[in-house]
Amino acid sequence: MVKAVVLGAAGGIGQPLALLLKANPLVTELGLFDIVNTPGVAADLSHISTPAKVEGFLPPDDGLKKALAGADIVVIPAGVPRKPGMTRDDLFKINAGIVKDLAAGIATTAPKAFVLVISNPVNSTVPIVAEVFKKFGVFDPKRLFGVTTLDVVRASTFVAEILGDLSLSKDVVVPVVGGHSGVTIVPLLSQSSHPLPAGFAKDSYDTLVNRIQFGGDEVVKAKSGAGSATLSMAYAGAEFAAKIIRAVKGEKGIVAPSYVSVEADAAGGAALTKELGQELAFFSSNVELGTDGVTKIIPLGKITEAEQTLITAALPELVKNIETGVNFIAAAYSTEEPRL
């Protein structure tokens, strides 16, 4: 039995993500929470002939608690998306508070659930969830994940395009490490399962890296004010959630990049810190998944000089983003008691 819950389930990501989770035969219960429209979304999905029992909840009458009761996996795409000209950090003002309150709900109702954070800026919202969980005394670093899968999905697609065969994209695996915004997104193309063509020019490499780092902007621009990536994100979120569920069910050897606490695996985290040459509380790296969440943080391994340059550029930005999230919770709880 697996209960999955989507917080922000009526949104641009939430609805297709809920659809894909409903289509996953391993999900037996699906809880949908949003501040609007979840009864309709739930009624609609509930007619689909797959095992999951679907229920929609709104804030009145303890809706958040009811949605979260018994949750095994909670995915959070709640919050505002970008408009052209905005950075992900511009979303912090609104989304930090939303994520803080939802995290308090999870901490008090489903503290053992695996939590997958999609709401931007991920580099800061994941530390927010961690800090809230610490305040409630329930933080388990093995169970908290920033979803960076869309960067991995994009890298696979763009490399397959360059190789001239999109049918390869489902097999192309490119580790994307660091974080989830601009320069903090670092594709390790030298470790791609499908190498770039021999003699791939330096300027073409730079263009590819830039497209992976700023793929989100491409969609924001094309949607011209109507939001950011939703369908590709729902696909990526469902893929990552499916990996967690398979690992929880006992499948061995599942590896995926995710933005996790370096405390999730002391030895792997220490090895990663040594490679980075700097202490960072969170970093996206390949992680191995097991029944209790992260079993191993897999260090970067051999990278090229160009990739090292990208990592060096990412670090100061990551430090700042993590601090922003941590400081937000310290300030919030200096004037209020942690409570749901």
The item of ligand NAD, ligand LMR, none sharing an interface with residue 220, based on CB under 5 to 8 Å by kind, is: ligand LMR
* Distance, CA of 1 to chain centre: 23
Angular region, 294: left φ>0, alpha ψ -120 to 50, beta rest: beta
Return the number of the residue (228 or 284) whose C-beta is nearest ligand LMR. Answer: 228
Residue 36 interacts with ligand NAD (CB under 6 A)? Answer: yes
- The contact mask relative to ligand LMR for 31-70 (x = CB under 6 A, - = no) is ----------------------------------------
Q: Site for ligand NAD (CB under 6 A): which residue of 6, 75, 91, 271?
A: 91
- Min dist CB 146 to ligand NAD, Å, is 7
End-to-end Cα distance, the chain:
27
Report, in Å, the least distance between residue 75 CB and ligand LMR. 15
Residues 102 to 141 in contact with ligand NAD, rule: CB under 6 A: 102, 118-120, 122
| Residue 13 touches ligand NAD, criterion: CB under 6 A | yes
Please tell me whether residue 11 binds ligand NAD under the rule CB under 6 A. Answer: yes
Pick out residues in 96-135 that bind ligand LMR (CB under 6 A): 120
CA angle 217, 222, 225 (to 5 degrees): 85
Site string for ligand NAD, 167-206 (x = CB under 6 A): -------------x--------------------------
**Binding track over 130-169 against ligand LMR, x by CB under 6 A:** --------------------x-------------------
- Measure the CA–CA gap between 32 and 10, rounded to whole angstroms: 8
Shortest Å distance, C-beta 118 to ligand LMR: 8
| Residue 186 one-letter amino acid | V
Q: Return the number of the residue (34 or 265) whose C-beta is nearest ligand NAD.
A: 34
Alpha-carbon span 86 to 99, nearest angstrom: 19
Q: Which of 27, 41, 147, 326 is the binder for ligand NAD (CB under 6 A)?
A: 147
Q: What are phi and psi of 181, to 5 degrees?
A: -170, 130
Return the residue of 219, 272, 287, 318 that touches ligand LMR, per CB under 6 A: 219
- Residue number with CB closer to ligand NAD (81 or 293): 81
Residue 271 marked as a ligand binder? no
Angle at 290 between CA 288 and CA 292, to 5 degrees: 125
Question: Which residues belong to the active site?
Answer: 180
Backbone angles phi, psi at 103, to 5 degrees: -65, -40
What is the rounded CA–CA span in Å between residue 142 and residue 10?
Answer: 28
> Closest CB to ligand NAD among 7 and 107?
7
* C-beta contacts of 297-301 below 8 A and 24+ residues apart: 297/260, 297/262, 297/264, 297/265, 297/268, 297/269, 297/271, 297/272, 298/255, 298/268, 299/268, 299/271, 299/272, 299/274, 299/275, 300/175, 300/177, 300/188, 300/272, 300/275, 301/191
Q: Which tokens in the block code for residue 149?
A: 């899968």
**14 known member of a binding site:** yes
Of residues 113, 106, 100, the one with CA closest to residue 143:
113
| Angle of helix 149-162 versus helix 215-223 axis, rounded to 10 | 90
Q: Are strands 144-146 and 114-117 parallel, antiparallel or unpaired?
A: parallel
Q: Residue 86, annotated ligand binder?
A: no
- The annotated binding site for NAD(+) is made up of 8-14, 34, 95, 118-120, 233
Residues forming contacts to ligand NAD in the complex (CB under 6 A) are 7-8, 10-14, 33-36, 77-82, 91, 95, 98, 102, 118-120, 122, 147, 150, 180, 227-230, 233
Residues forming contacts to ligand LMR in the complex (CB under 6 A) are 82, 88, 120, 150, 216, 219-220, 228-229
